[in-house]
Amino acid sequence: MNLQSSRIATTAFLIGMLVVATVSAASPSALAKTNRARTASLQAFVGTWVAKAPGENTPFLVLKLVEHDGKLTGTMSHFKIAVAGNGRVIGTPATPGESPIADLTVRGGDLSFVWGGDPPLHGGQCKFVLEGSQKASLIILVTAEEMQKIMADNSGASGFNPVVSMTREAETKEQTERPAEKWEAAFMARLINTAEAQYKFANGSYADYATLLRSGQLRETGGREFTVLPGNWQSETNPLPGYRVRLWISSDGSSYQLSIRKKTADCGTGLFSDETGVVLDGQPSDCPAMQVTH
């Protein structure tokens, strides 16, 4: 009995070790995919959302949502609630500035959060519901006491609909052209080098950036090897805002040279690499000859 129990215990231990080893080996990849999927889903909320009264150009309510490390944060402007005759919330801007919102939670495609409130509202839970890539509704939860106060202040209103219609503002050039940070330049160099090695393995030669992008190699490499990617990598002309990314391929496709330098520097330091995959940080000896502009 002791021998049999020992064998059972040993077998269970080995199976347990195998399960742990399998989970451990799979966890980084599974976790990376989960994080990428979550970040992609959160991007649907990211942006500046505004609510305007009919015929007005200035919004009475501005909601800003950003994503960082797989989490949403945001701010909401101050506004004094008003109600149109049909019960629609129109509002007017209140004190300048914005206040942080808290407890941002995404469930079933909707976002809930807590805000501080502007009189006569005392704040509390709000629900942000996407209706498309450019349209959404903000549902403000109102107490019976707050409802009475709102209706008293808006005697001409026939009712009260606590749903605020919002639209996403188009990104400004300044937002789109946010200069990349130095770590993003290093990640871009690694991404290109890895994609080049994998592309050559599959096709027998190296490729320029446009080919790496259009062929899907950059996406495949990024999804398989990286958990964080430079934000603008899908652009052929400006993959790294604030930097000049130059990729020269030899005529026979057997080698390449990579240069990533800040646009503000005429001949400054940068990151340089080639088919060896080694990334150097410095200034090339033939810097003047490497000047290339769009």
3-class secondary-structure state, position 142: coil
Q: Is the pLDDT of residue 228 over 70?
A: no
Residue 198: how many other CB atoms lie within 10 Å: 17
* Higher-scoring residue by pLDDT: 189, 94: 189
Pair 126, 208 in one domain: no
Asked if the structure places residue 2 within a domain, the reply is no
Of 117, 140, 169, which closes a domain? 169
Provide the percentage of residues in the chain whose pLDDT is more than 70: 70
Pair 202, 126 in one domain: no
Give 125-182 pLDDT, tens digit per residue: 888 888 887 888 888 887 778 777 777 777 766 666 778 888 888 765 444 445 566 7
Asked if the structure places residue 67 within a domain, the reply is yes
Pair 211, 276 in one domain: yes
Asked if the structure places residue 27 within a domain, the reply is no
Pair 153, 59 in one domain: yes
Instruction: Answer for the pair 140, 164: CB distance below 8 angstroms, yes or no.
Output: yes
Give the DSSP H/E element, type plus range, for residue 55.
Answer: none
- Going by C-alpha positions, the residue among 59, 184, 60, 55 that lies closest to residue 118 is 60
Mean pLDDT of the residues in the chain = 74
Pair 105, 147 in one domain: yes
CATH code, domain carrying 140:
2.40.128
Rounded Cα gap, residues 252 and 206, in angstroms: 9
What was the pLDDT predicted at 185? 83
Give 78-110 pLDDT, tens digit per residue: 887 777 766 677 777 777 778 888 888 888 778
Pair 187, 279 in one domain: yes
Pair 197, 113 in one domain: no
3-class secondary-structure state, position 234: coil
Give 264-276 pLDDT, tens digit per residue: 655 667 889 999 8
Domain assignment of residue 111, given as a range = 47-169
3-class secondary-structure state, position 287: helix
Q: Is the pLDDT of residue 39 over 70?
A: no
Of 125, 142, 169, which closes a domain? 169
Asked if the structure places residue 21 within a domain, the reply is no
User: Could you tell me the strand order of the sheet in which 61-68 lies?
Assistant: 92-100, 71-80, 61-68, 47-51, 163-168, 135-140, 124-130, 110-115, 102-107
What was the pLDDT predicted at 205? 94
φ and ψ at residue 291, rounded to 5 degrees:
-70, 120
Of 146, 169, 192, which closes a domain? 169
Asked if the structure places residue 64 within a domain, the reply is yes
**Mean pLDDT along residues 1-20:** 39
Asked if the structure places residue 116 within a domain, the reply is yes
Pair 152, 254 in one domain: no
Q: Is the pLDDT of residue 31 over 70?
A: no
Pair 52, 155 in one domain: yes
- Going by C-alpha positions, the residue among 93, 91, 95 that lies closest to residue 54 is 91
Task: Please report which confidence band the pLDDT of residue 258 belongs to, taking 50, 70 and 90 as the band edges.
Answer: very high
Pair 140, 119 in one domain: yes
C-alpha distances out from residue 29 to 8, 44, 220, Å: 33, 24, 14
Rounded Cα gap, residues 244 and 258, in angstroms: 10
- Going by C-alpha positions, the residue among 119, 141, 138 that lies closest to residue 130 is 138
Domain count, the chain: 2
Task: Please report which confidence band the pLDDT of residue 291 belongs to, taking 50, 70 and 90 as the band edges.
Answer: very low
Task: Please report which confidence band the pLDDT of residue 49 belongs to, taking 50, 70 and 90 as the band edges.
Answer: very high
- Going by C-alpha positions, the residue among 174, 140, 179, 157 that lies closest to residue 263 is 179
Pair 69, 131 in one domain: yes
Pair 164, 52 in one domain: yes
- Going by C-alpha positions, the residue among 184, 168, 183, 169 that lies closest to residue 238 is 184
3-class secondary-structure state, position 192: helix
Burial 98-133 (b: 16+ CB within 10 A, else e): eeebeebebeeeebbbebebbebbeeeebbbbbeee
